[in-house]
Every structure is written in structure tokens, then in C-alpha cells.
Chain A
């Protein structure tokens, strides 16, 4: 196990509270950061920034297209705007603004996609965000980042602010297990090997990283030596690491709180196809919307259980043994 990973996960911590605190720290470090909200600051906890720096906080109302456009104007004036609303709204309602100004116009705007994946579980599929990564990843110039826990968020948020160009990052709504120790030092664009293994590589992002590590433990008991990679940056993807894992373990599994189409699974599949074709199993939502319910239970029902990850790894290993990528 990598040194940065806790032997036992820490007590669950609210990702929203961690985000609010991280924003305040960022505001202290940089006076060019401006935080914008589409009237959900008490949902995503960006209100903590508003309390600390009211002169650098803007609530534009329930107007997501204006949220992005106003942020574009602020970026033109040299600010580093961090726009906040639910992840699906950036990826759908405000997408034209994102494409035209952030991507084509390369406006230096950061999009904080709250309530990502299924994490706004009880509000249901209208609020779930299971296609945002695919949509954002397809846009030229857009960087896509998915922190896994509060420690990861703390390390990555200053890098997101310092990144030259647009960034979409998505955040879980709920309490999440703390995976990393304080020594964890992620770098945008670089995947991280969290656990060594020789039989198969499990590549995960976001809250799923904890489940990937648990699945690797289960697999070890069953005699399968699984490597675990955290791919917190979907774009630019660390293709070198993907190719190395393909060569060294011969089979991969991707795990994401997202559709299996176009997100982490799509990104890794593209890299493998171009560089090192090996068997790949994609764990995620099977091209479907989910439903309302408790967070953990919906994750399990829609194919994201620890057991489902372990089973996918076994399938990948089996395909490898049968030879080729077939």
C-alpha cells in the first residue's frame, strides 16, 4: 500500500464542509479568487467563503447560464472565478456558455460541480449527475478533476485555481471515508498508484476510490493481486500510467460514479486502444438513470458495490487468461 493511504479509513467527513473550508483557505491565499453561486451556497457550503469574503462572493440567483457568463466576465478582468452549482447544471443547462467561453474562448473559469454522481441520492435522477464527466471531457481545453476525499480536495483545489485555463471539478455531497494521510501529494494530470498489484489494475476516481481499495482487499483474499490507481484527473489523462499498467498487469477495470459511456471508462478505453489494447471492464451506471434512495444503497443497486468491482476485476483477469483483449 502506498504511504499516503491510511491502513484503516478515517471516520467519514462531509465533503461539503471540507469544500467550504478549502475555499476559505484558498481565499486567504489568493485575493484574485471570486466565488459565484446560483443560489445553492448552503447546499455546496460555498457560503463559508461568503462569510469570510463577502466582497468576493456573488449570488446570481437561479440563473446557471448567467452564472457561467458572469464568471467569464470576471476572468476577463483578471479574477479567478470559481462558479458553483450542481454538476448536472453545468454539464447541461449552461453547457453552451461553457463550450463557447471557457473552451473556445479559453476563459480562466473554474466550475465546481456539486452533488456529483448519485450523491444527491434522495432528490433522485433529476439531480443526479451521471453524464457530466463525458460531456466536459469532450470539450477542447477543458481539464476535468475528481477529488476522492477531503484530503485530496484540499491538495487539489489550490492546483485547480492555479491551472491556466478552464477546469471542471466534481464534488460528492455526502460524508465520505477519509482515504489519505496528510502526506498525500497529488498533481493534476498524474494518476497515483495507491496499491501495487500484478494481476489486474483497478482505476478509480472520486468516492469510488475507497471502494476500489476495499475490492482489492477482497480480491487478495481470493488470491488475485490487484493494483489500485487513483485517476483524479480525467483530462489531461495520465496515458503513460494507463499504458504502464496495461503492460505490467495485462488487464484493467475502471470504476466511476458515472455512466460507463465517455467518462473515466471511456478515457481509459481510448488510451488503451491507442497504445496497449488489453481487456478492460468498466464499472459504472450501465447507460441508465438511477432512482431515489439512500446513497450507499443506490450505488450498490446500480452496479457500484465493492463486490461488483471485485467481480469485474475477476472478469478482466479471466479475459486476459483467455488471451488477447477478447
Chain B
């Protein structure tokens, strides 16, 4: 089956077309800042939510949802959809924003984030939100859950005959969450079964709830650790959209090993007084802070519009 056949009748699968172009990269980079503004508004309006880790993962999620993932928002349960396990569930304001703008649910729903009767829970939930694969929030599940998805995909791929779903599995992890032991259990399982249909992206912003990752629980050398656990590793600047897209493409070409893309990012990216400050892990902004942050982010959007 050719790619064209697979996507017949599914014009939304690759909204920017199949290739990276300079125009697409610039457009996605601008959108990542627009999405930060959306997240800022959501957390400010409800006075609850997590900004820092949402801002650091903006380009990663934008690249995945608007280009790399083979998905169809009109059919969120499409058996052949690529799976995204968003393991750092607390940063879901950015996940919801990307999904709404990609067409999974109306953008207006974002205004109900964390409200009673909303389809957008405080942390991702499968039943209420179309397109969410698994709940997340308690940290550390992503690698093992993703490994299970990749195993299911491989079992289907190895079945004789046609018509079995084909898909790949992507995981987005926080760096604080790799403190959890089950991350490394899952890493061993994925390496044992040589899951080359599994790609993880580590949002390595270096800051967790109460301080830097270096202070709270040192995990360096991170790249060496994943390599020692049997993963192929790729390092990338996580706010460089082209770099993220290229890394995802490279990851898909690796055989016989799962891939860890270590994406160096900045917690609170885009707002000077939020960057690299653990206090912005889960703190809502005051009106003055909101207005100052909005001005900086709108400046970034304008800068990308002028490119």
C-alpha cells in the first residue's frame, strides 16, 4: 500500500503536505508562540494549571501534531493512527491547545479547561477528551505504556494477510519524571523487544517542581543512560522546529532499537521572567504578570510573522 492509498479520503492527515519546507517550519514556529499565548490565557483565566512545562514542550508538540504524527482528528479512533503518549500530563494545557487547533474538538472548549463539566480535565483523561490515548498525570507511565502499544502494533504487523493496522508510537516525557523507577523498567522492556516503532522525546528543560533536576535528583549523563539501556539517542535543540522535525524523521529510520530524542529546552520558554524558574511549574500569573508575559509572547509571534 502506498502512502497515497493509505491517506485516501483523509486530507487532514498531513495539513502541510508530506515534506518540510521553510515556509512550514516558520509557520509552525510562529504557531508554537501563539499556542503559548493560548495556554497563558487558559491558566490566567482559571488561575490554575501548569505553564512552565507547557511552554517548554510547545515546539515538540506542534511539530508532532501539525506534521509528524499520522493522525486524523475527524476520526480520533482510526485504528492506523500513530499513538501519542503524553506522559508529562501536567503540561496538558499545551496538549489541549495543539489538539483543539488541529481539529480534535472546538477551540472554544479551551476556555473550559479545568472547569466543572468540561471535557478538558486537569490532567489528560481518555474518556472525556477525543484523541487522548491514556490518562497521564502520575508521572512515569509513558515508556512502559508506549512499549505495550508498540508491541501490539508489531504483533499486528507480523500477522499474515492484509488489513491489520500499521502505526508508530511516540512518547513525550518530562525530565523530572524520569526520576520514577518504572520509566527505567519500561526502557528495559522496550530495548529487550527491540521496539523500533517506538520513539520518545524527552523535554529536557532541566527544572522540576522544587528546583533544578541537577539539584533534586541528578540524572546526568542522560544521553549515556539511555544509550546504556539499549536505546538509540538523538540530541536536538527542542525549540528549533526544523531540528525537532529532522530528529523525528531520523528516529523513524532507526532499526532494531527504540529511539530517545533528548530535546534540550527551557522551562517557561518565551517569557523572560518565567524561564528556568521552578516557581512557574504550577503557578498561575497575576494580572500584571499576565500582561507582561502576553506582551513578550506577542512580540515573538510578530517576529515570526515578519520572517
Residue numbers of A with Cβ under 8 A of B are: 34, 55-56, 58, 60-61, 63, 65-66, 69-79, 81, 96-97, 100-101, 104-107
Q: At the interface, yes or no: B134 with Cβ under 8 Å from chain A?
A: yes
Q: Report Cα–Cα, A76/B146, bound state, in Å.
A: 10
Whether A74 contacts B186 by the Cβ 8 Å rule is no
Please provide the 8 A-B residue pairs with the shortest distance between their CB atoms, ordered closest to farther: A73-B148, A77-B152, A69-B144, A66-B185, A63-B185, A70-B148, A73-B149, A65-B182
Whether B188 contacts A63 by the Cβ 8 Å rule is yes
Q: Which of B68-76, B112-120, B153-161, B275-283 contacts A (4 or more CB under 8 A)?
A: B153-161
Residues of A within 8 A of B125 (CB): 104-105
* Known contacts A105-B134, A106-B127; A55 and B149 CB within 8 A of each other: no
Whether B188 contacts A70 by the Cβ 8 Å rule is no
* Known contacts A73-B146, A100-B135, A101-B134; A78 and B188 CB within 8 A of each other: no
Whether A79 contacts B141 by the Cβ 8 Å rule is no
Whether A74 contacts B148 by the Cβ 8 Å rule is yes
Whether B134 contacts A96 by the Cβ 8 Å rule is no
Residue in B closest to A65 when the chains form the complex, CB atoms: B182
Whether A76 contacts B141 by the Cβ 8 Å rule is no
Chain B: interface residue total (CB-CB under 8 A) = 35
Whether A104 contacts B135 by the Cβ 8 Å rule is yes
Residues of A within 8 A of B133 (CB): 76
Whether B126 contacts A105 by the Cβ 8 Å rule is yes
Whether A70 contacts B79 by the Cβ 8 Å rule is no
Q: Report Cα–Cα, A13/B147, bound state, in Å.
A: 37
* Known contacts A65-B182, A69-B148, A73-B147; A60 and B134 CB within 8 A of each other: no
Whether B149 contacts A74 by the Cβ 8 Å rule is yes
Residue in A closest to B181 when the chains form the complex, CB atoms: A65
Q: Report Cα–Cα, A55/B165, bound state, in Å.
A: 17
* Known contacts A65-B181, A70-B189, A105-B134; A76 and B83 CB within 8 A of each other: yes
Residues of B within 8 A of A65 (CB): 144, 181-182, 185
Residue in B closest to A71 when the chains form the complex, CB atoms: B148
Residues of B within 8 A of A101 (CB): 134-135, 141, 145
Q: Report Cα–Cα, A58/B189, bound state, in Å.
A: 10
Residue in A closest to B180 when the chains form the complex, CB atoms: A65
Whether A73 contacts B185 by the Cβ 8 Å rule is no
Q: At the interface, yes or no: B138 with Cβ under 8 Å from chain A?
A: yes
Whether A66 contacts B135 by the Cβ 8 Å rule is no
Whether B141 contacts A55 by the Cβ 8 Å rule is no
Residues of A within 8 A of B301 (CB): none
Q: Report Cα–Cα, A71/B125, bound state, in Å.
A: 18
Residues of B within 8 A of A74 (CB): 148-149, 151-152
Residues of B within 8 A of A61 (CB): 185, 188-189, 192
Whether A77 contacts B149 by the Cβ 8 Å rule is yes
Residue in B closest to A77 when the chains form the complex, CB atoms: B152
Whether B127 contacts A72 by the Cβ 8 Å rule is no
Of B144, B155, B156, which contacts A70 at CB under 8 A? B144
Residues of B within 8 A of A107 (CB): 134
Whether A77 contacts B153 by the Cβ 8 Å rule is yes
B299 nearest CB across to chain A (Å): 40
Residue in B closest to A96 when the chains form the complex, CB atoms: B138
Whether A69 contacts B186 by the Cβ 8 Å rule is yes
Residue in A closest to B198 when the chains form the complex, CB atoms: A73
Q: Report Cα–Cα, A38/B165, bound state, in Å.
A: 28
Q: Report Cα–Cα, A65/B180, bound state, in Å.
A: 11
B168 nearest CB across to chain A (Å): 12
Residue in B closest to A81 when the chains form the complex, CB atoms: B148
Q: Report Cα–Cα, A212/B146, bound state, in Å.
A: 45
Of B135, B137, B155, which contacts A55 at CB under 8 A? B155
Residue in B closest to A64 when the chains form the complex, CB atoms: B185
Q: At the interface, yes or no: B150 with Cβ under 8 Å from chain A?
A: yes
12 contacts between A and B (CB under 8 A): A60-B192, A65-B181, A66-B182, A66-B189, A69-B186, A72-B134, A72-B141, A73-B151, A73-B169, A77-B153, A97-B141, A101-B141
